[in-house]
């Protein structure tokens, strides 16, 4: 992994919108890391759908699935009251992973890998 940097909260919504628009076909792992729960994988290399931050409701969201017959349902992982967001950018605006921390100190790690697009 490349070095991470912390994004200022006021730029989260636009940054995540740009990532969603520009990220090629990808898969993600969603891992929740907390003192009380340990490490738990919630999604293991499922098709990426979108990343978003809603400042009004103070919610970070990552969505997977919903892009193929194999994974027809969109699954959403929400982080309420996020306080920090670290990003590892590998190719300009496209991160290799993101790490979100909520107000209770629980962290959500989102690892992203590109998947070659299938020829039509």
User: Among the listed ranges 15-19, 24-28, 41-45, which one has the minimum average pLDDT value?
Assistant: 24-28
Beta bridge partners of 28: 46, 112
Question: Does residue 44 have a pLDDT over 60?
Answer: yes
Cβ neighbours of 60 (radius 10 Å): 24
Predicted confidence (pLDDT) per residue in 50-103, tens digit:
999 999 999 999 999 987 788 788 899 999 999 999 998 765 557 889 999 999
- What pLDDT shows up at residue 25? 86
Does residue 58 contact residue 80 with C-beta atoms inside 8 Å?
A: yes
Q: Top-level CATH class of 5-114?
A: mainly beta
Q: What is the mean pLDDT of the chain?
A: 88
Give pTM, 2 decimals.
Answer: 0.86
> In whole angstroms, how far apart are CA 58 and each of 13, 42, 83?
11, 21, 9
Domain boundaries, the chain: 5-114
Q: How far is CA 53 from the centre of its chain?
A: 10
Does residue 27 contact residue 45 with C-beta atoms inside 8 Å?
A: yes
């Amino acid at each position: 992994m490349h070095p991470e940097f912390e994004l200022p909260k006021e730029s989260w919504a636009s940054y995540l919108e740009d990532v969603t628009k520009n990220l090629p076909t990808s898969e993600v792992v969603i891992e929740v890391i907390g003192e009380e729960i340990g490490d738990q994988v919630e999604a293991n290399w499922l098709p990426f759908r979108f990343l978003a931050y809603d400042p009004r409701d103070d919610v970070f969201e990552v969505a997977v699935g919903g892009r193929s017959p194999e994974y027809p349902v969109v699954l959403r992982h929400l982080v309420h009251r996020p306080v920090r967001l670290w990003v590892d950018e590998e190719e300009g605006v496209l991160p290799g992973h993101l790490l979100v921390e909520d107000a209770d100190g629980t962290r959500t790690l989102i690892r992203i890998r590109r998947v070659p697009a299938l020829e039509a």
